[in-house]
Amino acid sequence: MSAALAPHLKTWKPSQVALFSFELTDESFGVHSLRFNQGQNSPAPTITINVICQLAWVIGSYLGAVAGNLIQDVRPFALDYALPAMFIALLILQINRRTHLFIALLSAVLSIIFWQLGATQWHVILATLIAATIGAGVDTWKQQPS
């Protein structure tokens, strides 16, 4: 994720880039991808967002470890729905071209196909790798001079 955002950090000090990379989470990656494309890449607010997301992650993990056994049935909390919903929302924010939409839909369809074929532990990873490779190929093909 850090490598994908690195082109936006060219004017940053090495220590700022290191802190940014260390504190980056899935959620802050989604936020920064959007912000950076709008030209909002100053270090202070960007690192602040990372620190808040990282602290939420660490504190949430700690609370889950300490209090997790107190919850007997997690189904009423809809946690099986919340995490996929969060990632879908982050994905939707990233779609800004038809190619992105095509790759997202292709990945979803491939994931379902792999699941049906029995790759229940690997279906998302396989679908992502195949769709991302196709997306990279399409982008490379589109950028070649005619």
Check residue 126 and report its DSSP letter.
H
Give per-residue pLDDT as tens, 88-103.
Answer: 887 887 787 888 899 9
Question: How many structural domains are present in the chain?
Answer: 2
Q: Which of 38, 72, 106 finishes a domain?
A: 72
Q: Whole-angstrom Cα distance, residue 64 to residue 142?
A: 46
Return the higher-pLDDT residue of 137 and 79: 137
Residue 37 lies in a domain: yes
pLDDT band at 5 (very low <50, low <70, confident <90, very high): confident
- pLDDT on residue 83: 76
Residues 1 and 57 in one domain: yes
- pLDDT on residue 105: 93
Residue 99 lies in a domain: yes
Mean pLDDT rounded to a whole number for the chain:
88
Residue 28 lies in a domain: yes
Mean pLDDT of 112-128: 93
Residue 18 lies in a domain: yes
Residues 66 and 99 in one domain: no
Could you give the percent of the chain with pLDDT greater than 90? 42
Question: Of 33, 34, 28, 36, nearest to 12 (Cα)?
Answer: 36
Look up the domain containing 44 and give its range.
Answer: 1-72
Instruction: Please list, in sequence order, all residues whose beta carbon lies within 8 angstroms of the beta carbon of residue 91, skipping any fewer than 6 positions away.
Output: 104
Tokens of 104: 């997202």
